Chains A and B, each alone.
Chain A
Amino acid sequence: MTQLALVIDLNVCVGCHACVTSCKEWNTSGTAGPMADLKPYGKEPRGTFFNRVQTFEVGEYPQTETVHFPKSCLHCEDPPCVPVCPTGASYKREEDGIVLVDSDKCIGCKYCSWACPYGVRELDEHQKIMTKCTLCVDRIYDMSLPEAERRPACVNACPTNARLFGDVDDPDSEVSVAIREQGGYPLMPEWGTRPANHYLPRRKTRMTIHEDELVRADNPLKKERQLPMPDADDPTLDETTSW
């Protein structure tokens, strides 16, 4: 089995929105597009995005921490949006686990967006159909691209490498190792959706130093000074030994 997914490292994300803009840029000209923009230069611009970055402040000053939180479809292993779809437009691919919307079958009833606990599906106001992250399915298999670029646009764009992409069903993949070794977690596990995308928590590298570790307790000469240079008259090593 293959389950492609993203792993998002909240420890590294700086909230620059490069993933948002690169996602929009790629997908608005891709198979899922165009992604509508309404009044893009108006007072309240709005439009369709597959990926959004939100910012949260955790704690109270001065003990605060800013968490930038990119949010896109989690490509659940048990996606609640799929069975509720009356037309079968919302489906999960057998071969790689990507959840997609067939834009020719979607009737725009929005029922799938109700069934998704994460709010990662958006009805395109122009096309009047449901749209969502495709994990750049039109890019990751494109053999005309160099192999290093066959990744979702957001992953390529991330300047801090906060987004990892790979097969979470392969225990040795980069994403699986990251989830396993760096405490990757799914969102809202209470709904049993088993999201394929995981998030890596904020983590700090701390070192505990005890006082006795600052003093060398095991100095055999009980001295910290440099040893003096031998006198010029003293025999050298060459003179005292025969090779």
Chain B
Amino acid sequence: MHPAFSVIFLTTLLGAGQGLFLALYTAQVYAAFGLLPEQDPVRFHALGAVLALVLLGLGLFSSFFHLGRPERAWRSAARWRTSWLSREILVLPALMAAIAAWAAIHYSGFDPLLFTFRETYAVSLSLAVGAIGTLLAFALYLCTGMIYACIKQLQEWATPLTVVNYTLFGLASGFLLAAAFAGWSGTGLADFFGGWAIIATVVVFFTRAASLVRNARLKHKSTLQTAIGVRHAQIVQKAQGAMGGSFNTREFFHGASKRKYAFVKWVFLVLVFPLPLLLASAGLGSGRTGLWLAAFLIQYLGLLAERWFFFAQANHPQNLYYQTV
């Protein structure tokens, strides 16, 4: 498939934004159970939520560049019963609304107690709204992943690993950003977020490696023989039906050389996993915000490459009709 930068930015920005919100809410839940100190609701929770909203907003903005007719984008909420894309388009604004409400509650200080759990733990409005946001954030990871995983003839994508990887990459980059944000805002939570970011990065290393191994051993179901229905081992295409290429030759081929393709793969393998892990482990306990920020930025760059490779690797069966691209 042709990797479109609009979708690369969309998926990586959304993933990091969701992950950042989940990190902030995790800290609040820990604090509610008394496992972490309470944080400044305005400077930490509200501001962090605004940062997550900015990332989600940028992702939403870049998604419009993928549309031929962005002015009609509102129509895309119509088919949520069948289309994962439609579901994503419903869940994203819902998540943004939940995060905005969560931020507003923290900012305004209007956080009434809803009920008390086991007479010890107080469940406030912000905790409940955050729980809804958490559900929506995970639903959005599911939708984003399923957009790709549900197309069964794109066999490189049609695996639960796609959803798992989208979720874990988002969590890893979001928690790294949360660590940098916590360091900047002067709370002592950088190590807490950083620890989870390291765990997420290590786990996603194994799941992404599993998908790479799976795709390397993939046997494509369609062949040129099934594509045109002629049973012969040797079929050579002589004409593709177009002189200057067509939508089919532009949309479904990445167009990069073999060297660039392999290069991007190694770029993402280095930038997403070892370098951020190195920086993050140096950042643990150091109290240096710059290390966390560098880890986040490097991993984000790597994720751009990872997403490019994710698209480029997918081999659409329609390519069988265009043998000489």
CA A116 – CA B318 in complex, angstroms? 8
**Min CB gap B142→A, angstroms:** 16
Known: A42-B244, A58-B235, A85-B83. A107 touches B321 (CB 8 A): no
**Min CB gap B97→A, angstroms:** 19
**Min CB gap B162→A, angstroms:** 14
**Min CB gap A123→B, angstroms:** 5
Residue of A nearest to B226 (CB): A188
For A114, what are the chain B residues with a Cβ–Cβ distance below 8 Å? 1, 151, 154, 316
Known: A44-B243, A45-B243, A87-B72. A187 touches B234 (CB 8 A): no
Tell me if A55 is interfacial: C-beta within 8 Å of chain B.
yes
Q: Which residues 104-139 of A sit at the B interface, judged by CB distance below 8 A?
A: 105-111, 113-119, 121-123, 127-130
Establish whether residues A108 and B244, one from each chain, have CB atoms under 8 Å apart when the complex forms: no
Neighbour of B242 across the interface among A43, A49, A67, A110, CB < 8 A: A49
For B89, what are the chain A residues with a Cβ–Cβ distance below 8 Å? 86
Tell me if A160 is interfacial: C-beta within 8 Å of chain B.
no
Q: Point out which of A49, A55, A107 has the most chain B C-beta atoms below 10 A from its C-beta.
A: A107
Establish whether residues B238 and A84, one from each chain, have CB atoms under 8 Å apart when the complex forms: no
For A89, what are the chain B residues with a Cβ–Cβ distance below 8 Å? 75
Q: Which residues 31-58 of A sit at the B interface, judged by CB distance below 8 A?
A: 39, 42-46, 48-49, 52-58
Establish whether residues B67 and A58, one from each chain, have CB atoms under 8 Å apart when the complex forms: no
**Min CB gap B318→A, angstroms:** 3
Establish whether residues A55 and B244, one from each chain, have CB atoms under 8 Å apart when the complex forms: no
Tell me if B82 is interfacial: C-beta within 8 Å of chain A.
yes
Tell me if A83 is interfacial: C-beta within 8 Å of chain B.
yes
Known: A56-B236, A84-B82, A84-B83. A67 touches B241 (CB 8 A): no
Tell me if B222 is interfacial: C-beta within 8 Å of chain A.
yes
Residue of B nearest to A69 (CB): B228
For A71, what are the chain B residues with a Cβ–Cβ distance below 8 Å? 241, 321
Known: A43-B244, A45-B244, A105-B75. A119 touches B230 (CB 8 A): no
A65-95 near B? 1/0 per residue, CB < 8 Å: 0110101000000001011111111000000
Establish whether residues B222 and A87, one from each chain, have CB atoms under 8 Å apart when the complex forms: no
Establish whether residues B235 and A56, one from each chain, have CB atoms under 8 Å apart when the complex forms: yes
CA A71 – CA B151 in complex, angstroms? 22
B305-325 near A? 1/0 per residue, CB < 8 Å: 000000000001111011000
Residue of B nearest to A189 (CB): B226
Establish whether residues B86 and A86, one from each chain, have CB atoms under 8 Å apart when the complex forms: yes
Establish whether residues B228 and A85, one from each chain, have CB atoms under 8 Å apart when the complex forms: no
Known: A86-B79, A128-B69. A57 touches B236 (CB 8 A): yes
Known: A58-B230, A128-B69. A123 touches B246 (CB 8 A): no
Neighbour of B228 across the interface among A187, A189, A190, CB < 8 A: A187
For A39, what are the chain B residues with a Cβ–Cβ distance below 8 Å? 244
Known: A119-B321, A187-B227, A187-B228. A107 touches B244 (CB 8 A): no
Q: Which residues 80-94 of B sit at the A interface, judged by CB distance below 8 A?
A: 82-86, 89
Q: Which residues 177-214 of A sit at the B interface, judged by CB distance below 8 A?
A: 185-191, 199, 201-202
Binding site for B on A (CB under 8 A): 15, 20, 39, 42-46, 48-49, 52-60, 66-67, 69, 71, 80, 82-89, 105-111, 113-119, 121-123, 127-130, 185-191, 199, 201-202
Beyond A52-B246, A88-B75, 19 additional pairs, beta carbon < 8 A: A46-B245, A48-B247, A49-B246, A56-B230, A56-B238, A57-B237, A58-B230, A58-B232, A82-B82, A86-B79, A86-B85, A87-B76, A108-B68, A110-B66, A114-B151, A121-B247, A122-B247, A187-B227, A202-B230
A–B Cβ pairs within 8 angstroms, 10 of them: A52-B240, A57-B238, A71-B321, A80-B153, A83-B79, A83-B82, A107-B68, A108-B68, A111-B147, A122-B246
